[in-house]
Amino acid sequence: MDGAASPTVSLFFTVDRAHISTMDSTKRDAVEELLQTYGETAAAATLPSRLAIEATCAELMSLMFPGFRSEALVSSEDLAGATRTRIRNLHARLKTEICRSLGKIPPDEATEAKAEEVLSVFLKELPLVRRVLWTDIDAAYEGDPAAKSYEEIILAYPALEAIAIYRMAHLLYDKVPLIPRIMTEWAHSRTGIDIHPGAQIGSHFFIDHGTGVVIGETTEIGTRVKLYHAVTLGARSFQKDQHGKIKKGGKRHPTVEDDVTIYPGSTILGGETVIGARSTIGGNVFLVQSVPPDSLVYYEEKQLRIVPKRKKRPATTRDEFRE
């Protein structure tokens, strides 16, 4: 047998080569079929990077709350240097992504000029955003008896992160496509709070707990408004064109005036629905109509009964003697 190939081994290699050939053919076919579908989404090469935008969101949170979201700062000189570095990094990263969102990679002169213009306004407005965020922190501290300090709110309250990212994304809304939605979706995935960047929200805004809150694109919220978890400010219905397709735009979401509180589980729908100032909406309320100022809205509860549990009967006579 020495020096002679085993028939079994030869058969194995023959089958294996055939198997490999079939696999290669299958993979080639899959590649070709996938490439045919890519023609419809070839523009994806010029879309902004989600990873880059998510990194931008993290950097923006560090810029809004230095020392709270990243490495500790040891001196005012350190703070100044870290802030300048963050601004430079943000400018470089965002300029590339804005050019991508405008569909020009590599960018032409007009695209670069537009990106610079958007970035200049965005960076200049960040100090104002930070001042408004401090009113939101005030609202959280005053509105939640469990809050022990401002530091706790900055470090541990998911609503502040969702609101902060929303406020910064709102600066870019209607100026560049895609990026604002990616920003608020990053916050949504981390906090469970879904705020569309197109919504208009006043100062001193607080969302207690927050999980499950949805705020639609054309929602208008006044100052000193407090929401609890699982509140939806949504659209009631969608107008359709002659072809049955949904019409874009238009006021579809409610208006919530100043000093309103909306308790958990409530749903308020419709672009014509207005919640009047200083009103309170109770838990699990479903509203598709306006409410005048200074209203209390709640469902009449069924009568609550608390009675002693029935003692479990013994299954057999023998069990009866065991008690």
Model pLDDT for residues 153-177, shown as the tens digit of each residue? 999 999 999 999 999 999 999 999 9
pLDDT of residue 322: 53
Q: In which band, very low, low, confident or very high, does the pLDDT at 247 lie, cut at 50, 70 and 90? A: confident
**Rounded Cα–Cα distance for residues 22 and 16 (Å):** 10
Is the pLDDT confidence value at 3 over 60? no
pLDDT at 287: 96
Between 67 and 220, name the one with better pLDDT: 220
Q: Which range has the worst mean pLDDT, 69-73, 203-207, 237-241, 257-261?
A: 69-73
What would the pLDDT profile of 49-70 be if each residue is shown by its tens digit? Answer: 999 999 999 999 999 998 887 6
Assign residue 81 a region (left: φ > 0; alpha: ψ between -120 and 50; beta: otherwise). Answer: alpha
Q: Determine the Cα–Cα distance for residues 92 and 73; give it in Å rounded to an integer.
A: 23
- 8 A C-beta contact, residue 70 and residue 62: yes
H/E stretch holding 269 reads strand 267-269
pLDDT bin (cut points 50, 70, 90) of residue 240 is confident
Nearest to residue 186, comparing CAs of 50, 322, 22?
A: 50
pLDDT at 57: 96
State the average pLDDT for the chain: 87
pLDDT at 230: 98
Q: Which residues, in sequence order, are bridge partners of residue 281?
A: 262, 297
Please tell me which residue, 304 or 87, carries the higher pLDDT value: 87
Share of the chain above pLDDT 90, in %: 65
pLDDT band for position 15 (cuts 50, 70, 90): low
Residue 267 dihedral angles phi and psi, to the nearest 5°? -125, 125
The mean per-residue pLDDT over the stretch 282-307 comes to 90
Whether 285 and 269 have beta carbons less than 8 Å apart is answered as no
* Spatial separation of the C-alpha atoms in residues 269 and 290, rounded to whole Å: 10
Between residues 81 and 151, which one has the greater pLDDT?
A: 151
Q: In angstroms, rounded to a whole number, what is the distance separating the alpha carbons of residues 275 and 292? A: 7
Give me 309's structure tokens.
Answer: 């549990």
Query: Would you call 204 exposed, middle or buried from its count of C-beta atoms within 10 A (0-12, 13-18, 19+)?
Result: buried
Q: Which pLDDT tens digit goes with each residue over 24-46?
A: 777 778 888 877 777 655 556 67
pLDDT at position 67 is: 83
What's the CA gap between 304 and 311, in Å, rounded? 21
Q: What per-residue confidence (pLDDT) applies to 116? A: 96
Is the separation of the CB atoms in 277 and 259 below 8 Å?
Answer: yes
Predicted confidence at residue 220, as pLDDT, reads 98
- Residue 291 is given by DSSP the state B
Q: In whole angstroms, give the CA distance from residue 182 to residue 57.
A: 10
What is 176-201 written as a DSSP string? SSSHHHHHHHHHHHHHS-EE-TT-EE
Sheet with 274-275, side-by-side order of all strands = 200-201, 220-221, 255-256, 274-275
Calculate mean pLDDT across residues 118-141. 98
pLDDT at 29: 82
Task: List the strands of the sheet with 214-215, edge to edge.
Answer: 194-195, 214-215, 232-234, 267-269, 286-287
| 289 residue type, one letter | Q
